[in-house]
């Protein structure tokens, strides 16, 4: 009986210690062909081997800060408050761009260069507070001579300490004004019977076009399934696509090879070809400079 009691006490203590560790989620443009991601995780593991670590993606196109911003927005709401995200898409590594930790109003933490990566989560989740990383104390020991791998030496190290509870958010570094570097883009709007928005990203596996036009904005058009709509896609001021397609609830609602407008898994307006690749067919890409308008023919 005594041994059972001791065992249960030890289990409670262990579970309690583990519960104090925040989940740590990594995102980079490094790929997995070399050891860069493993180096970052090794730094965290050395700080505390029981931090739960996960990968968002390491396949962000090289230097594509915008896509990094989108993937954080897409993913973060599905993780619990307290989760620590490390996002390293850092073409300005070693320059005077700031290294920061953003705490959102939802209680999520984002450790990243302040280069536009925080554009969308700052808007979506709200800014509670921002702190600049004090590299005098929150930098991997004996790494001062390295200027090109802050992802390992600064961001993973700081995130690991924060996730492990070895530092508080206040100990990250000095508090900054509640603003981040933002990439300009077309917000979803409805006016005079037309909806306008941005194409932030492609559903790359299938070639579908994902917009930032949310269900609430699109609903202002009062469109019924099956109704035809005129779609125009632009890159900057250049028109890339113009076409008419129906609103459909499923891909199978139109014949194979035909185009449709639908709401994707995030309940945003999207375009697709049933059993085809819309992006390749029409040479449509994504980014802050890509916009779309939806109106009635």
What is the CATH classification number for the domain harbouring 257? Answer: 2.40.30.90
For the cut 90, the answer to whether the pLDDT of residue 93 exceeds it is no
Residue 7's pLDDT is what?
46
Residue 3 pLDDT: 53
Any domain includes 182: no
Whether 36 and 58 map to the same domain: the answer is yes
Nearest to 266 by CA among 223, 198, 211, 190: 211
Q: How far is CA 61 from the centre of its chain?
A: 13
Residue 1 has pLDDT above 80, yes or no: no
Does residue 204 lie within any of the structural domains? yes
How much is the average pLDDT of 276-284?
98
Average pLDDT over residues 217-243: 97
- Mark which of 120, 145, 176 sits at the end of a domain: 176
* pLDDT tens-digit series, residues 31-89: 999 999 999 999 999 999 999 999 999 999 999 999 999 999 999 999 999 999 999 99
Separation of alpha carbons 250 and 245, rounded Å: 13
Q: Of 154, 176, 198, which residue constitutes the final position of a domain?
A: 176
pLDDT of 231 > 70? The answer is yes
Of 176, 204, 221, the residue at which a domain comes to its end is 176
Q: pLDDT: is 229 or 20 the higher one?
A: 229
Q: Are 175 and 182 in contact (CB under 8 A)?
A: no
What is the count of structural domains for the chain? 2
Residue 181 forms part of a structural domain: no
Domain containing 166: what range? 6-176
Is the domain of 236 the same as that of 282? yes
Residues 273 and 251 placed together within one structural domain of the fold: yes
Q: Is residue 196 located within the same domain as residue 93?
A: no
8 A C-beta contact, residue 103 and residue 128: yes
Rounded CA separation 272/280 (Å): 11
Same domain, 161 and 194: no
Q: Are the C-beta atoms of residues 127 and 181 closer than 8 Å to each other?
A: no
Q: Is pLDDT at 4 greater than 90 in this prediction?
A: no
Please check whether residue 53 lies inside any domain of the structure. yes
Inter-CA distances, 70 with 84, 105, 122, 210, 288, Å: 17, 18, 11, 11, 10
């Amino acid at each position: 009986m005594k041994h059972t009691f001791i065992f249960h006490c030890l289990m409670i203590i262990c579970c309690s210690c583990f519960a104090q560790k925040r989940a740590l989620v990594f995102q980079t443009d490094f790929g997995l062909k070399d050891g860069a991601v493993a180096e970052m995780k090794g730094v965290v593991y050395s700080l505390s081997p029981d931090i739960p670590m996960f990968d968002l993606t390491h396949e962000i196109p090289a230097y594509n800060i915008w896509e990094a911003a989108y993937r954080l927005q897409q993913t973060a709401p599905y993780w619990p408050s307290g989760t620590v995200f490390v996002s390293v898409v850092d073409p300005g590594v070693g320059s005077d761009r700031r290294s920061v930790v953003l705490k959102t109003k939802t209680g999520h933490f984002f450790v990243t260069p302040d280069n536009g990566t925080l554009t969308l989560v700052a808007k979506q989740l709200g800014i509670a507070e921002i702190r600049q990383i004090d590299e005098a104390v929150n930098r991997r020991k004996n790494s001062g001579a390295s200027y090109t791998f802050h992802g390992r030496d600064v961001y993973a190290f700081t995130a690991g300490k924060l996730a492990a509870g070895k530092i508080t958010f206040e100990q990250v570094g000095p508090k900054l004004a509640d603003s981040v570097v933002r990439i300009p883009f077309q917000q979803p709007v409805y006016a005079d019977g037309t909806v306008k928005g941005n194409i932030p990203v492609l559903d790359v596996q299938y070639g579908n076009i994902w917009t930032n036009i949310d269900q609430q904005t699109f609903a202002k058009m009062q469109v019924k399934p099956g109704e035809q709509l005129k779609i125009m896609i632009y890159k900057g001021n250049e028109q890339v696509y113009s076409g008419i397609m129906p609103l459909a609830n499923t891909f199978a609602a139109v014949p194979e090879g035909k185009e449709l407008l639908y709401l994707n898994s995030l309940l945003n307006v999207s375009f697709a070809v049933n059993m085809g690749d819309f992006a390749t067919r029409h040479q449509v890409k994504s980014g802050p400079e890509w916009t779309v308008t939806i109106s009635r023919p």
